Structure 1
Amino acid sequence: MRTSGAPGWLFGTLRGTPIYIGRTWPIIGLIIVVTFGPQIEHSYPDLGAQAYFVALLYALLLLLSVLAHEAAHALVGQWRGYRVRQIVADLWGGHTAYDTDDTSPLSSALVAVVGPLANGVLALLGWGLLGVVDGDIPRLLLFAFVISNTFVAAFNLLPGMPLDGGFLVDALVWRITGSRSAGLVVAGWCGRAVAVLVVLWAVGWPLLRGGQPDTFYVLWSVLIAGFLWMGASNAIARGRSSRLFARVRVRDVLRPVALVPGDAALAQLPPGVDLAVVDPRGAAWGFIPAAQVAQVPVTTPATITAQSLAQVQPAGWVARVDSPDADVTELVRAAQEAAPGIHQLLVVAGDQPIGLVSIEQLGNALGAAERRGSAQPEKH
């Protein structure tokens, strides 16, 4: 079933987490059928066109392997307290999306390593079944299943972002240095190195054996290397951004705010401070700038209330942080996800609103921190 706004077709759920077959997955399925089908037909000419159906079965087995890999990430992520948003199988294999960053080096390492381990377990199970399965075609599919899961497990353990091995490097550096940003940068550069080595392997290995590189495999290696390079570059950018965000604290950009009920009369509104208007349950839904209250004429009828003055705010204008002393990472995330009409964020620590942040002011503070960092090298 296809759902509106979803990344593909809904396959099922795992402990409440939706599992999707991505829109791009049929591309890899078609490539497998087109490349694997002729090989099967050549080895088993009696199959005829049925060889392509066998290739399709192999593509489906590979899809299940990818989903098992991502399901392992999701289950351990849930166990470690992550909010797992969705699992998607797509052109590049698959990915599991989380709403929050990793909470500790140990959690990050555990979530990363279980994906390749799941494929390793599937490979071992398939290898064990080879001795009891009869028939050339079932054995061929099972052997291909073993090889593919072994490859997926080994390849994902390579030490570079965005592979699972890269998250292990990230967790190790994070644990040693105490800096997540350092872990991301190191793992990102390792990922770039892996991307280069993938291309060199595809080109150099055949030459070392006295042959010529296969154009098909070289093209695929370049595509895979490009994917790895982009993921590694994103990790480096995240690491550098995290380093920048750590230079600014929430309290540095906060403005005072007072909470008022919607039925509060004009005369009851605190002067000289921005106001957040709340409903009877205490949920903030509106914003009144201090200057707006000051501009209301004294002769205004007494029936004017906070509700009539408030600027209704879209959902998503409330940003939650651990404390005023936390860095602005959560504020930046909230600002990036904010609807176009949101210019102010109501900042909440626990259940207590602690102030307002202008998105423009947040950007200015980060810009100033970046300039200070450029002028004075960061100390480690």
Structure 2
Amino acid sequence: MQWSWSLGRLFGIETRVHASFVLVLLWAVLSSYGGGPAAVIYGLAFLVAVFASVVAHEFGHALTARSYGIATRQILLLPIGGVAQIEGAHMPPREEFMVALAGPVVSFLLSGLFFALSALTGDLSPHSFLGALAWANLGLGAFNLLPAFPMDGGRVFRALLSARMGPLRATEIAAAVGKFAAFGLGAYAIASGRTMMTVVAVFLWFAANGEAGLAARRYSRGTDDPAQWRRTSGFPPRGGRGW
């Protein structure tokens, strides 16, 4: 919280931006500086529009969670994307499945909207502002559906596993798949020289490893039976999760 600034509240949920986001703005300015003031303004406007789309994606998670009576503490914008800090570390499988899918669904809907608007201008290519936003949201939705836990696709995968084998074993399997995917993504990023993708891969590796360790500690003290989740005293535990 000390290293982030509030952007205000929407639907009763505070949205904050991390101080490191300044580096992204600086990168946007430097990368477009050669094109003059107009190029800089265009680059900054597109960056803001993309991260507004990321916020909408996170609100998809947060508002779907609210429909199940689960609160969201805040939405935090980071250089690598957004995080909706939802209360409770685990949900029953059906709820986790729906909450996880909600973000990509919002991204696909936004992509369709921007494709429709760009079609009116006659330019669906990523070289136009609306076309680029359409492709960016399509990529955001598709990328998040990769089964790399703890990304949205990985959480969908865990929800499906949890219904059959309980949250502990499901988390272990989903985390293992997530770390394998992070390793593959990192290898590709290093080979192709994609610095930001390398950072994302490292983040995914540690996040998957951390989720597996957290689940092991939690369920060593409690039940691993999904039917008991809502009946176990103190569950779901407080202390947000990231989407």
Quickly name the TM-score band, shorter chain normalised: 0.7 to 0.9
Q: Deviations 1:208-260 (Å, cap 9, x if unpaired)?
A: xxxxx3x3x1x223211101101111111122113312279xxxxxxxxxxxx
Aligned to 2:185: 198
Aligned 8 A contact 2:57 2:107 in 1:
yes
Aligned partner of 1:27 in structure 2 is: 23
Task: Return the offset for 1:121.
Answer: 0.8
State the secondary structure of the residue aligned to 2:128: helix
Amino acid at match of 1:89: L
Q: State the one-letter code of the partner of 1:181.
A: L
In structure 2, how many angstroms separate the alpha carbons of the residues matched to 1:73 and 1:198?
25
Aligned match for 1:83, one of 61, 71, 80: 71
Pair 29,151 (structure 1): closer, same or farther in 2 beyond 3 Å: farther
C-alpha distance in 1, partners of 2:121/2:230?
Answer: 56
Aligned to 1:228: 204
After TM superposition, give the deviation of residue 134 of structure 1 in Å: 7.6
Residue in 2 that maps onto 1:367: none
Distance 1:33 1:162 in 2: 32
Alignment equivalent of 1:123, drawn from 87, 99, 111: 111
Note the residue ranges of structure 1 that are not aligned, 5 or more in a row: 42-47, 205-212, 249-320, 337-380
2:136 to 131, 140, 148: 148
Which residue of the partner structure matches residue 84 of structure 2? 96
User: What TM-score, normalized by structure 1, do the two folds share?
Assistant: 0.56
The alpha carbon displacement at 1:26 in A equals 2.2
Larger RCO (CA within 8 A; separation ≥ 6): 2
What is the DSSP-based 3-state SS (H/G/I as helix, E as strand, rest coil) of the residue aligned with 2:119? coil
Runs of 4+ in 1 over 6 A off after TM superposition: 327-330
Larger strand proportion of the pair: 1
- Which residue matches 2:97? 109
Q: 1:33/1:184 Cα in 2 relative to 1: closer, same or farther (>3 Å)?
A: farther
Which residue of the partner structure matches residue 214 of structure 2?
A: 238
Task: Tell whether 2:147 aligns with 1:171.
Answer: no
CA-based RMSD of the aligned residues comes to: 2.8
In 2, the alpha carbon distance for the partners of 1:60 and 1:38 equals 17
Distance 2:190 2:127 in 1: 32
Structure 2 residue runs of 5 or longer lacking an equivalent are none
Secondary structure at the counterpart of residue 82 of structure 1:
coil
* Greater fraction of residues in helix: 2
